[in-house]
Structure formats: C-alpha cells, structure tokens
Homo-oligomer: A and B are copies of this chain.
Amino acid sequence: MATDLCPILINGEWRQATAYDSFVAENPATGKPLKVAYPKSEWDDIEAAVVAASEAAVQMQELDPQKIADFLTAYADEIEAHAAEICELASIETGYPVKPRLQDVELPRTTGQLRQAARAAVDPSWRLPTVDQEANIASILEPVGPVVVCGPNNFPLAFNGIAGGDFAAAIAAGNPVIAKAHSSHPGTCRVLAECAQQALTVTGMPKGTVQLFFGIRRADGERLVRDSRVGAAAFTGSRTAGMALKASADSVGKPIYLEMSSVNPVVILPGALEERGDEVLDELVTSALMGTGQFCTNPGIVFLVAGSTTNAFLDRLAARYDEQPCGTLLSKGTQEGLVAGIEALKRAGAEVVCGNRPAAREGYAWSNTLLRVSGERFMADPEVLQTEAFGNATLAVIADDVAQLAALIGCCEGNLTGCIYSAKDGRDDPSYPSVAKALRPLVGRLLNDKMPTGVAVSPAMNHGGPFPATGHPHFTAVGIPAALRRFTRLACYDNVRPERLPDMLRCYMNING
C-alpha cells in the first residue's frame, strides 16, 4: 500500500492504517476525483480501536460528567474555529453550497447539538433515576459501552459519524465513539476528527474516546457491530447496508439503531388544495427539491384526490419542477440509485409527468422528476411503489376519492413522517379523522399543514418511526435528551452499599432520602 494514505485516528494518535485497499472521493459537482487517498483498513485497525474504546469506556464511567461536557463544548468551539475550512471541504465533497446550507444551517446545527449534548451530559434526570428507599433498590440508565457510528452521505456535518447527532448523543451518554467516515466525504470527517482530537487533548479526555477509520470490509463491519466489547451501533444509510448490520448485531442481542428508508407520505386533502393551492405548491416544491431532495424526510409520495383541481395542481407542479435548476446529487451512486428508483416506480405503473432525463450540466445531476400513479395501481403493488427514489423525484398518488385515501395509506410501510394538509376553514374536517387514524401508527412524526423537511433539534422531536424507517419504533435519533437514551443500558443496584453506588445515583439516593 502507498504510504501517502490519509492516517486513521486510533487511541489518540493519527497513525498509518493497515490497509488492504484505498479510495478517493469525488467532487460530485464535476464528477472529478479528489486528490487525497484514504485507506480501507484490515481488521487489525478495528481491533486496536475496539481495545482503546473499551479502555476509554471504563475510564469515562469514572469521570466527572462535567469533563465530558467540557469536551463536547470544546469540540463545538474547535469546529467553529475551523468553520471556513470545514465548510469549503464539505462543499467540494458533497456539492452542497457553502452558504447558506453548510455554513449558515448545518454547521450551527452541528455545534448546537454538541452544546445541547454537553448540557445533557451533566444532567442525569434523562437517565430516569429511580430510587426505592424501602426496598433499597435503585436504577438508572448507564452508558452502554463503545458505540460504533456510521453516518450518512447527506449530512456531512450534522449527522456525521464523528460530529453529528448520534456522535453527540453517544458521547453525552458517557460512551466512546468509533466512527466510520462516509466514503463520499472522508476529508470532512478527517478535519472534524482533528478538531475532536484537539478538544480531547485540551480537556484531558481518555485517548480512545473518539476514533476514526475510513473504510473496512463489509464482513468486518458486521463483525464489529456484534463484537462483545462494543456496546451499541448507530447507522444512517441505505436499507440494504443497514439490514446487513442489523442482522449481525441482532444475532447477539447487541443494540443497533438504524435510520434507513422513508418516503414520508404527504396527504393533501381537497379542501386545502382549493383553499390555498398556490401556498401548498410553494411549500411542496421547496421541501421536495431542497438539497436536491436528499433529505431523510423528503416528501417522496404525495397523496391527492382525483379531480380538475388536482390535475391543475400537478400541471403547475410539473412546470415548477421543469423551471427549477437541477441540483447536484451527492455521488455517482446516489444518481444511479435515483434513476433505479424511478425505473422501479415506472415498471410498477407510475407515469413520468416531467423530468427523468440527464440534467444539462456537469457532475452528478438528474432532472427534477415528477411521477404519477392511480390509487388503484398503487394498491396493486404498494411495495414497489414505495421504493425510495432518493433525490429530486416525487410520486403523486391519485386517489379516486377521499374515502380511498385511508385504504391507500393503509398499504404504506413505516415512515419517519406523515403530513396531512387540510383546509383552514374546516371543510376537510370530516375527512381528517380517517386519514389521520390510518397514518398515525405508521409514522414517527405526524404533521399538519407543514412539509416534513426541517427536523428541529427540539426535546420534543421524534426522528424515528416504525420499520423500515428505523429498526425500533421506541427511539429517536434527533432530540436531546431523548436521543441519548439509545446509548444506555438499564442498571440496577440492589442492597449495594451506599459508598459503592455510582455518583450519579448516590446523589438521588440522598435527595430522595
């Protein structure tokens, strides 16, 4: 292997990987390869990371939580100090514009999450401490152990395995993180890891608290998430990769939290369309094409009721799709996946209303695509017609009438979100309950009169939902402190002598006694 491969971060040191291969990322706006080569590691590297993380996990249990909070805050500061460099590199690797997307939205979201997590690290109330003085039993949610985090391609900062929501939650809960860089933005991961490493040093954290590698064999990934020394894993990405990791982790009862595919159904009731069709059109176009549609909560399927108003709405929607510029897609794979998704929808009977052709520009891009299919056809092949065409494509499903909507929704799989637009003057109110009743159990977040993109980092947020949106409907990936609970195990102390209780629990014993 060439010795000029980017080093990996193991146990507090940037070291040369034991590489069996290497890769370079591409600039998706041009399709040209970038210069730096990144290693794909042999298991030896992973083994070293697991050993260091296990040691760090034990050390972190003994730490004053304030130290963990200090690290998270220092890391946020470091990211801000390197904001220009990070955003420029992330822009080159993802095709997202530096402003507003990266610098004004995603980077502040990232540092905001880290700072929120820092506050949660020192507040044990979210750990649900429970004390039974009479029985002399106490329980609390404790760190689960080293967490493996694999971030997605579409948020190089806010969901990055080494800086994003899962990372912040795992660390704040008291666990070291072993992060796998996403292969489409490895440089961004490296710079973030340098910031993290600096913050670790400044705050005197255990060396194995944050580690980074760039690539491993699929089989080694599966081995890693079922390793007995690992506490849990978090994965955001494709259903295929997610399910393979899940099967491995599940085989040994190891928690794995996945965010996979979601088509995020949007139901537009007829009254809303009549009352404020232009407004809804604007919201839909913005939500569906923002970031070239590359959001987990992109509104991929829109349910409408047949009629002239709907036909006119779709005509205007197609016109807007045609006139909007075609954004850059994250990678060649993303473009191939989008085109394959559209083809699957077509084969199942969806008709192309507009788009579905190469974009007239360099790099990875595809024209904004609108498809339509009848309710009857949708019900005949609901599985294929829910194929996630990740990117700037939208499927309109046209119900015969309002009564058919609930049946159509009843054919849907689990999703992160579901939206219902209804008239403000009450004319859709008779239709709302049956639609909501069908949609509510299928989605993690039910919205009214609002598109699903824009996942507020709010304590009340649920960025989760029934399978296949995630692997378990009880947990959320966004929202502090709730997201932290994923990376804990319930620990109970029965008749344990007071001086031997963990500090975090002892303070509750005293308060309640």
Q: Is the CB of B441 within 8 A of A494?
A: no
- Alpha-carbon distance A81/B74, docked complex (angstroms): 64
Stretch of A45-53, A192-200, A251-259 with 4 or more beta carbons under 8 angstroms from chain B: A251-259
Asked whether A307 is an interface residue with its Cβ less than 8 Å from the other chain, the reply is no
Stoichiometry (number of copies): 2
Contacts of A58 in B (CB 8 A): 437
Which residues between 448 and 494 of chain A lie within 8 Å of chain B, taking CB atoms?
448-450, 456, 458-462, 464, 466-468, 470-476, 479, 482, 485-486, 488-494
Q: Is the CB of B467 within 8 A of A254?
A: yes
With A473-B255, A474-B489 known to touch, is A132 a contact of B495 (CB < 8 Å)? no
Once the chains bind, are A446 and B485 in contact (CB under 8 Å)? Answer: no
Task: Judge if A385 is at the interface, Cβ distance under 8 Å.
Answer: no
B446 touches A132 (CB 8 A): no
Any B CB within 8 A of the CB of A250: yes
Closest Cβ neighbor of A487 among chain B residues:
B474
A128 on the interface (CB 8 Å rule)? yes
Residues A131-147 near B (CB distance < 8 A): 131-132, 135, 137-139, 141, 144-145
Q: B500 contacts A448, CB within 8 Å?
A: yes
Q: How far is the CA of A493 from the CA of B417 in the complex (A)?
A: 10
**A250 contacts B247, C-beta separation under 8 Å:** yes
Q: For residue A422, which residue of chain B has the nearest CB?
A: B497
User: Are the C-beta atoms of A432 and B490 separated by less than 8 Å?
Assistant: no
Alpha-carbon distance A444/B488, docked complex (angstroms): 12
When the two chains form their complex, are residues A460 and B495 in contact, meaning their CB atoms are under 8 A apart? no
A-to-B contact residues, CB < 8 Å: 58, 128, 130-132, 135, 137-139, 141, 144-145, 246-247, 250-255, 258, 414, 417, 432, 436-437, 440-441, 444-450, 456, 458-462, 464, 466-468, 470-476, 479, 482, 485-486, 488-497, 500
Q: List 26 A-B contacts (CB under 8 A).
A: A128-B482, A132-B461, A135-B456, A135-B458, A137-B458, A137-B460, A139-B479, A145-B441, A252-B467, A253-B473, A254-B467, A417-B494, A436-B500, A444-B490, A445-B493, A447-B494, A447-B495, A448-B494, A448-B500, A449-B495, A460-B492, A474-B486, A474-B488, A474-B489, A474-B490, A476-B490
Given contacts A253-B472, A444-B490, 17 further A-B contacts (CB under 8 A): A132-B456, A132-B458, A144-B474, A145-B441, A246-B253, A252-B467, A253-B258, A253-B414, A253-B471, A441-B489, A446-B492, A446-B494, A448-B497, A450-B495, A466-B489, A473-B489, A476-B490
